[in-house]
Amino acid sequence: MNKFKYISLILMTTFLMGIAFPVGKLGMSYAPPFFLMGIRFVLAGGLLAIIVARRPRPHGVKQWLQAAVIGLFQSAGVMGCAYYSMRWITSGESSIITCTNPLLVIVLGTLLTGASYRGRQWLGVGVGFVGVLFTFGLHMSIEPGTFISFAGALCFASATLLIKRWGPAFDMTVLAAYQMIAGGIGLFLLSSFTEHPYFIFSGTSVIIVLWLAVMGSIVQFSVWFYLLRNGDPARTSAFLFLVPLFGVISSWLLLGEKVQWEVGVGGAFICVGIFLVNWEGKAKAKARIRKGPALEG
């Protein structure tokens, strides 16, 4: 893959990840958060399942349950928390906190799976959590949404570890489709108990849902995994630091949200931490590829 194509696709997919936060907040004017995300993921998962209908589906009760559990963490947990948190905090703040996932993967991976990580990655965790302290502790008023968004980041990290463990047995695109459907159904159930579900039909609301389902889910996922399969996964993952950056910028442009200085400083530290956690030098990347994939954040 030539450098121009690689950079273009990196910018495209991280932009789609970041802009999903303010677009989703716009959508909350037309539907409550859990119900809106349920529509997004059932629609996206259903369309993707049709696209990959000829590929091998999960087989046996165990694989279907694994796909459902991943969906409850990845789609329902992550985005349910992220969008619900926007009742109290800005979409930019939500994107910053949710995207601490790569840092949490290091901590949970060490505690739960016994994985070992390099010193540079632990330095990245330290730098990233300094950013979390800025975002949490120096904010003038810590809202419930701050902790709800952080719960979404924990769900994100848990889903990442589960995908690392169970993913090799699946066609990843098929897994993406069915985990989104499972997560969407879970969000519908949660909405029925905690919200008064409704959807206001208008040209704007339909465009928002289609953007979140098609561009923000199917296209974003497809491009991301194309990059992971056809390039250096570690180098590609390092660019996740662009997601909260695009989230903050697009929230400012679309919603007029202003980021307080301590949140901006915290977000910068988190971005640097994510970069340190994921980046590998060329020599180490080649050595890792020769030895086989390792569990990394």
Quick: pLDDT tens for 122-165. 888 888 778 777 766 565 457 888 899 999 999 988 888 888 88
d(CA 25, CA 248): 13
Chain position carrying tokens 């990347």: 285
d(CA 43, CA 168): 25
pLDDT band at 202 (very low <50, low <70, confident <90, very high): very high
Mean per-residue pLDDT of the chain = 84
* pLDDT, greater one: 104 or 199: 199
* pLDDT, greater one: 237 or 7: 7
Q: How many CA atoms lie within 13 A of 256 on its CB side?
A: 0
| Helix and strand totals (H; E) in the chain | 15, 0
DSSP state of 89: S
Identify the pLDDT of residue 297: 31
Identify the pLDDT of residue 219: 92
Q: Please report, for residues 26, 108, 164, 200, the alpha-carbon distance to residue 160 in angstroms, rounded to integers and kept in the order given.
A: 28, 10, 6, 34
Q: Tell me how far the alpha carbon of residue 103 is from its chain's centroid.
A: 13
How does pLDDT run across 17-50, given as a tens digit for each residue?
889 999 999 999 999 999 999 999 999 999 999 9
